[in-house]
Structure 1
Amino acid sequence: MQVKDRTFLITGAASGLGAATAERLVNAGANVVLCDMSDRVLNLAEQLGAQAKACVADITSAADMQQAVNTAVALGGESGLSGVVHCAGVVSVAKLVDREGNPADLDSYARTVHINLVGTFNVMRLAAAAMANNPPGDSGERGVIINTASIAAFDGQVGQCAYSASKAGVVGMSLPAARELSRHAIRVMAIAPGVFETPMMSEIPDEAAQALAAAVPFPKRLGKPEEFALLAEQIITNPMLNGEVIRLDGGIRMQ
């Protein structure tokens, strides 16, 4: 699939991975609908120009996301919604039993899973239903879905039960979704970032963030959102990338 003149829906687009992806796709000639719960997405869309539209929405809301998808379909015209890069999510850290012997909060666990996993399913199902109606492109392809997992799905650390479980669920959906949507000529991929310079990382203590960066074999630093955006573009344009999860982590294996 070509990026130029195609329309993509980007969630979590107000900052970090989503914002970088939106900027890269616009620079490559795409139209984008930027979706986020933060109204900062309105300013970003204005900065990106006529090729960008903003939609303030909650990824766990069926109504909100249907509106975002409808906006993208309308923006895409005859070609409709060509792809989704789903970056929205939350990070959470909580031990099963804290130092005082108290059990982890169940509502907090459920919230993390609801946003990261149920939210991903919500975005995926609505986008796929829209893309299934697209006319096939030159290669027969109708669309591509790129979800964001995490290396925590494989290498979860202490305190990451909720986050790791939610991202492992995203990993687990990739292949069955790709198999199912193949009949509609829609690809499904996931990117599992390592430690990246995003607002989400700011929620982790500086000392812990520095230790994570030092643990990356090479390059020995945090990843840059632009590097995630580069991979997202490569997935869009390479038709043989399907049903797979790509680690983007500089070789780090967390302990």
Structure 2
Amino acid sequence: MDIKGKVAVVSGGASGMGLEIVKRLLSLGAKAAIFDMNAAAGEAVVAEFGDSVMFADVNVTSEESVQAGVNATMEAFGAIHICVNCAGIATGSKTLGRDGPFPLDLWQKTLAVNLTGTFNVLRLCAEQMAKNTPDNDDGVRGAIVNTASVAAFEGQVGQAAYSASKGGIVGMTLPIARDLSTIGIRVNTIAPGLINTPMFESLPAPVYEALSSTPLFPKRLGRASEIAHMVTSIIENDYINGECIRMDAGLRMQPK
């Protein structure tokens, strides 16, 4: 798919990896709709980039909220060709800890945002993608990229809910790709490792240095720009479909 002239929806696009993805898509000539709940950050992106980007205050767990965001995107840009799901939360609690069993409401919230939220956004974007005129002779109408985590494969102590939510994203990638193949929509997932975000920069220096040495090679945290590069590479390469791609520099997480 040629990204130039296309319209992308990026959930969680107001900050972190999502924001880097938005910026890269814009640099390649796309327009972007940011679905996020951080209105101040979202509007700041709009102020910086102007008419090529819009912000919608979207709660990914709500069908009505996502549908309103999709409607606003269609009104502003007339189509949706790309969907990138970055919205998510990181939670932690032991299955049985000092304060008792894992709080069920925390379990449900984690899966609601990370797993159900991802599916909620992509299914409603796919409905609009199906209306697109094919982009090329392959019949491409859309591309979806979801964000999982290496925790889907090597969850650490206290990550039962987070790992389950990210493992669910990995597990649903191929079935959804199969579902949408008949209408020319590809579906892929990336599984980042330790990516340098503002959260990491706030850590004490010894902790930051220890985490930076964990990957196999190169011995550093990943950059959000590297994630964004992979996302756009997946979008541009029509022969990548139904895949989960780890981006972790050979990292294998330890129990804790």
Aligned to 2:143: 144
Change (3 A) 1:199 1:58: farther
Structure 1 pair 172–201 and aligned structure 2 pair: CA distance change class (3 A): farther
Give SS of 2:164's match: helix
Task: Give the deviation of 1:110 after TM superposition.
Answer: 1.1
Deviations 1:163-217 (A, max 9, x none): 0000000000100000010011000000100011224557978765543321111
In structure 2, the partner of 1:122 is 120
User: The residue matched to 2:225 in structure 1 has which SS?
Assistant: helix
* Residue 26 of structure 1: aligned partner: 26
Distance in 2 between residues matched to 1:13 and 1:118, nearest whole Å = 18
Tell me the TM-score normalised to structure 1 length: 0.94
Q: Name the counterpart of 2:165.
A: 166
How far residue 70 of structure 1 moved from its aligned partner, in angstroms, is 1.9
Amino acid across the alignment from 1:25: L
Which whole-Å CA distance do the structure 2 matches of 1:101 and 1:21 have between them?
Answer: 39
Q: Deviations over 1:107-146 (max 9, x none)?
A: 1111101110110110111111111111111231000110
Q: Which residue of 1 aligns with 2:52?
A: 51
* Counterparts of 1:118 and 1:208, CA distance in 2: 33
SS at match of 1:64: helix
Question: Where do residues 70-89 of structure 1 align in structure 2 (5 Å cutoff)?
Answer: 70-77=71-78, 80-89=79-88
- Structure 1 unaligned runs (5+)? none
Structure 2: which 5+ residue stretches go unaligned?
none
User: Which residue is equivalent to 2:240?
Assistant: 241
- Cα-to-partner distance string for 1:58-82 (whole Å, 9 max, x where unaligned): 11111111122222233443xx210
Matches within 5 A, 1:166-185: 166-185=165-184
Contact between 1:8 and 1:72, CA under 8 Å: does it hold in 2? no
- What is the identity, as a one-letter code, of the residue corresponding to 1:36? D
Q: Which amino acid in the other structure matches residue 53 of structure 1? A: M
**Judging changes above 3 Å, is the alpha-carbon distance between structure 1 residues 60 and 194 closer, same or farther for their aligned structure 2 residues?**
same
User: Structure 2-normalised TM-score?
Assistant: 0.93
Q: In the aligned structure 1, how far is the partner of 2:127 from the partner of 2:140?
A: 14
- Any idea what the Cα deviations from partners look like across 1:28-81, whole Å, max 9, x if unmatched? 11111111111111111221222111111111111111122222233443xx21
Q: In structure 2, the residue corresponding to 1:50 is in which secondary structure?
A: helix
Q: Structure 1: which amino acid aligns with 2:75?
A: A
Residues 192 and 246, structure 1, Cα contact 8 Å, conserved in 2:
yes
SS at match of 2:93: coil
4+ residue runs of structure 1 moved beyond 6 angstroms?
A: 202-206
Contact 1:5 1:30 in 2 (8 A): yes
Distance in 2, Cα, partners of 1:104 & 1:203: 27
- Matched to 2:118, the amino acid is T
How many residues align structurally? 252
- The residue identity in structure 2 corresponding to 1:218 is F
| Residue matched to 1:2 | 2
Question: 1:14 and 2:4 equivalent?
Answer: no
Following the alignment from structure 2 to structure 1, what is the Cα–Cα distance between the partners of residues 240 and 54? 28
The answer to which of 212-221 and 6-15 deviates more is 212-221
Q: CA RMSD in A?
A: 1.7
Q: Which amino acid aligns with 2:20?
A: A
Match of 2:43 in 1: 42
Match of 2:64 in 1: 63
